[in-house]
Amino acid sequence: MVRAKRRGFTLIELLIVVVIIGILAAIAVPKFTSTKGRAYAASLKADLRNLASAQESYFFVHAAYTTDTLALNYKTTNGTQLQIVAATSGGWSAIATHPMSYPLTCAMFSGLITAPAPATAEGVVACQ
């Protein structure tokens, strides 16, 4: 009596493949999470730099800075929360956060105005 060969994988082979995929996923997920965090941080910095350009354009026309982002015709990237802390004819300051990058906060100021933490140098985005 000749027995027909069965085609397919054994249970052990399938379990080994599942374990290997699990190990690879355990390695990849933390790296992906840190990459997303760096991307959100870059987004915050870019938003503050773009705000600086918008404020300077507004100052050129109105001889003062503003806290109104609608007057600046300025929009942040998705999810970024931007707060213009102060704006006078002498300068402005702003803080940006992103819910997915918590607890990262970035700040920037320009002119003769009190610097919001963590900003320490005029015109330089600082994050903590």
Domain parsing of the chain, residue ranges? 11-127
Q: What does the pLDDT read at residue 4?
A: 65
Q: Which amino acid is at 6?
A: R
Q: What does the pLDDT read at residue 61?
A: 95
Determine what percent of the chain is predicted with pLDDT higher than 70: 97
Q: What does the pLDDT read at residue 101?
A: 78
Q: Which amino acid is at 80?
A: T
Q: What does the pLDDT read at residue 122?
A: 95
State the Cα angle at 52 between 46 and 59, rounded to 5°. Answer: 160
Is the peptide bond between 116 and the residue preceding it cis, with omega within 30 degrees of 0? no
Q: What does the pLDDT read at residue 50?
A: 95
- Whether residue 102 is predicted with pLDDT greater than 80 in this model: the reply is no
Q: What does the pLDDT read at residue 2?
A: 65
Determine what percent of the chain is predicted with pLDDT higher than 90: 70
